[in-house]
Amino acid sequence: MHYSLDNPHEHRHHGMRHNPFKALVAPRPIGWIGTVSKAGVLNLAPYSYFNAVADSPPMVMFSSTGRKDSLSNVEETGEFTCSMATEALVDGMNLSSAPVASNVDEFKLAQLATAPSLMVKPPRVAASPAALECRLWKTLALPRTDATHPEHIVVLGIVVAIYINDAFVQDGIVNTGAMRPLARMGYMDYSVVRPDTVITLNRPVASADQQSATVQPGPWDGVYR
Ligand SMILES: Cc1cc2nc3c(=O)[nH]c(=O)nc-3n(C[C@H](O)[C@H](O)[C@H](O)COP(=O)(O)O)c2cc1C
Among residues 59, 192, 177, 70, the alpha carbon closest in space to that of 129 is found at 177
Using DSSP bridges, classify how beta strands 152-164 and 58-65 pair: parallel, antiparallel or unpaired. Answer: antiparallel
Domains of the chain: 21-214 (2.30.110.10)
* Rounded CA separation 148/27 (Å): 27
* Rounded CA separation 73/18 (Å): 31
Which pLDDT value is given to residue 7?
84
Cβ contact 41:130 at 8 Å: no
Task: Report H helices in 33-188.
Answer: 69-77, 90-95, 106-109, 176-179
Nearest CA to ligand 1 atom 7: 47
Residue 21 three-state SS:
helix
Q: What Cα–Cα distance (Å) separates residue 29 from each residue in 15, 83, 102, 171?
A: 28, 11, 25, 25
Centroid of ligand 1 to alpha carbon of 176 (angstroms): 23
One-letter amino acid identity for 193? V
What is the mean pLDDT for each group of 10 consecutive residues in the chain (225 residues)? 88 90 97 98 98 98 98 98 98 98 98 98 99 99 93 98 98 97 98 97 97 95 90
The string of pLDDT tens digits covering residues 35-58 is: 999 999 999 999 999 999 999 999
Centroid of ligand 1 to alpha carbon of 34 (angstroms): 12
pTM reported for the whole predicted model: 0.97
* Rounded CA separation 211/180 (Å): 39
Centroid of ligand 1 to alpha carbon of 70 (angstroms): 9
**Measured from the CB, is residue 59 less than 6 Å from ligand 1?**
no
Q: At CA 38, angle to CA 59 and CA 31, rounded to 5? A: 30
Among residues 79, 95, 87, the alpha carbon closest in space to that of 46 is found at 95
Centroid of ligand 1 to alpha carbon of 97 (angstroms): 6
**Measured from the CB, is residue 46 less than 6 Å from ligand 1?**
yes
Which pLDDT value is given to residue 110?
98
Q: Which helix (H) or strand (E) holds 23?
A: helix 21-24
